Amino acid sequence: MAEKILAKDKLGGFLEGLTSSYEVFAPQESEGKARWARLEDPSGALWEFSNTHLSPKDFFFPQSECMMRFKNLQDGEEGMVMHSEPGLDNKRLLLNIRPCDAKAFQVLDLIFVQDEMTDDFYWRDKREQTTLVGLGCSDPCPTCFCTSMNCGPHSTTGLDVLLVDLGDKLLVKALTEKGEALAQGLEDASPDDLAAAEAQRKSSEEQIESTVGMDQVLSRDMMELYDAGHWSRVQESCLNCGTCTYCCPTCHCFDIQDETQGEDGRRVRNWDSCMSWLFTMHGTGHNPRGTKLDRVRQRFMHKFKYIPAKRGGEIGCVGCGRCVQLCPVNIDVRRVVNDMNA
């Protein structure tokens, strides 16, 4: 795939062009934090930020999403027949998404779309309608540990385009057909540009201060890890709130609920969290994950053992560090993985 160059003085026009064919979203500053928002004014897009407060998974897997509707009529055939919500009616573009968040979508693709039966219409539709334009990290946070998670500050997995900020210009690396379409008409990058981008990648990777080992986690027997002694310490301070699961770009558990109002009804899915004890509670009162330890262990085992076992070695974590920053009791996933890897 060809590398192109976009001069910063032409950036405004380029973005204007995008907004005419896509609904463009980008991280923008709000109350001192970078947050995803619709890009109304191209100059509002952030180019220097660590990462957004929350992951952009909401674009593909909204926290509350109407799946289907029905007429809430008890009698008559129409009363119980479900009608799917339509897919997106426009094309979307996420500008300046961080490589770790894009990588997370690639991991989630493996879960939401597996085969003919497990083919999540809502996820797939939004993924197909959306183009991901990534921005390589030049200034990673102390909590970032992407390089330990099959990812990195300039990782291209899951992206359609990777941008690298070279000061007065951007290197535009088209990675898919969707990406090629965007890069069309731009100048080719010079060998110097490529070298500068490569230098930035190296320097960013070197700046990642935290690393964790996964080799033992992946090779150790599953039940040995499951029965390991450290879980009782990991879970002690856990509040069993949903913060880690809701800020996580790869957490994808959900609940399905019916709601009715007069003659209208809908079936909605909402994010759910494996931290909640009701999550696995049977109607009979039996609970397969009845203790806090069970639930805390489930979250980490799922990401670092179950997903790799089931999805060809892919890890269910991209090292974005959000849970490290936001956990109210500082349960640090890097410590947990180190414990698992010991």
Partner 1 sequence: MEAIAQKIREAAAKLLSEGAVDCVIGYAKGTVPMRDYPYFAYTPEEAQNLTWSPFCTNNLANFLIRRTAGEVGKVAIVAQGCVSRSIVGLIKENQITREQVYILGVPSHGMVDRRKVEARFPLKTITEVLVDGEDLIVKGKGFEERIPQKEVRRSNCYTCVQRNPVIVDEVVAEDGPNDWGGNIDAVAAPWEKLEPLQRWAAFEETVKDCIRCYACRDACPLCYCHVCFVDESQPQWCGKGQDEADVATFHILRAFHCAGRCTDCGACESACPMGIKVRRFTSKIEKDVRQLYDYTPGLDLESTPPLSVYRPNDPQEFIK
Partner 2 sequence: MNNLLEYIGIEPGRLHFSWISSAEATKFQDTVIKVTDAVKALGPAQRMVKDIRRVA
Partner 3 sequence: MRNTYIPYPVRIKQTRVETEDKMLKSFLLEFLNDSDAEAFAYTPGQFAELSVSGYGEIPIGIASSPTEGNDLLFTVNKVGSVTNKLHTMSEGDIMGVRGPLGNSYPLKDMEGKNVVIVAGGFAVTTLRSTMNWLLHPDHRDKYGDITFIYGARTPGMLLYTEEWTEWQNSGQANVNVTIDREAQGWDGLVGFVPTVTEQVAPKPDNAVALICGPPVMIRFTQPVFDKLGWQPEQIVMSLENRMKCGIGICGRCNVGPEYVCKDGPVFTKAQLDKLPKEY
- Site residues (vs partner 2, CB under 8 A): 62, 64-66, 259-261, 264-266
Give the Cβ contact number of residue 129 at 10 Å: 17
Residue 50 interface partner, choices partner 1, partner 3, partner 2, none, CB cut-off 5-8 Å depending on type: partner 1
Verify binding: residue 292, partner 1, rule CB under 8 A.
yes
Residue 264 binds partner 1 (CB under 8 A): no
The listed partner (partner 2, partner 3, partner 1, none) that binds 118, CB under 5 to 8 Å by sort, is partner 3
Q: What are phi and psi of 321, to 5 degrees?
A: 80, 5
CB of 27 to partner 3, least distance (A): 28
Judged by CB under 8 A, the residue of 246, 252, 265, 297 near partner 1 is 246
The entry of partner 1, partner 3, partner 2, none near residue 80 (CB within 5 to 8 angstroms by kind) is partner 3
Using rule CB under 8 A, residue 288 touches partner 3 = yes
Question: What does the per-residue mask of binding to partner 3 show for 207-246, with x meaning CB under 8 A?
Answer: ---------------xx--x--------------------
Are 280 and 193 in contact by the 8 Å Cβ rule? The answer is no
Please say whether the beta carbons of 111 and 252 come within 8 A.
yes
Nearer to partner 2, 69 or 334 (CB): 69
- Give me the DSSP letters along 275-292: TSTTTT--TTS--TT-SH
Cα distance between the two ends of the chain: 41
Give whichever of 129 and 243 is closer to partner 1, judged by the CB atom: 243
Report helix angle 333-341 to 292-301, nearest 10.
80
CB 289 within 8 A of CB 71: no
Which regions of the chain does DSSP assign to beta strands (E)? 3-7, 23-30, 33-38, 64-71, 83-84, 92-97, 130-135, 161-165, 169-174, 187-188, 254-261, 264-271
Query: Residue 244: what are its φ and ψ, rounded to 5°?
Result: -60, -40
Binding partner of 326, given partner 2, partner 1, partner 3, none, CB within 5-8 angstroms per partner class: partner 1
Residues 310-339 that bind partner 1 (CB under 8 A): 324-326, 328-332, 334-335
Query: Is 239 an interacting residue with respect to partner 1 (CB under 8 A)?
Result: yes
| Phi, psi angles (nearest 5°) of residue 331 | -80, 110
Whose CA is closest to 296, among 203, 231, 214? 231
Q: Choose among partner 3, partner 2, partner 1, none what residue 261 binds, the Cβ cut-off being 5 to 8 Å by kind.
A: partner 2
DSSP string, 190-246: PHHHHHHHHHHHHHHHHH-------HHHHHS-HHHHHT-TTHHHHTTT----SHHHH
Q: Which does 282 bind (CB under 5 to 8 A by kind): partner 2, partner 1, partner 3, none?
A: partner 3
Of the pair 138, 280, the CB lying nearest partner 3 is at 280
Shortest Å distance, C-beta 243 to partner 1: 5
Task: Examine residue 203 and tell whether it contacts partner 1 (CB under 8 A).
Answer: no
Nearer residue to partner 1 within complex by CB, 33 or 83:
33
* Tokens standing for residue 1: 């795939």
What is the rounded CA–CA span in Å between residue 231 and residue 296?
8
Site residues, partner 1 (CB under 8 A): 29, 31-34, 46, 48-50, 53-54, 63-64, 139, 141-143, 233, 236-237, 239-243, 245-247, 255, 257, 259, 268, 270, 273, 276, 278, 292, 324-326, 328-332, 334-335
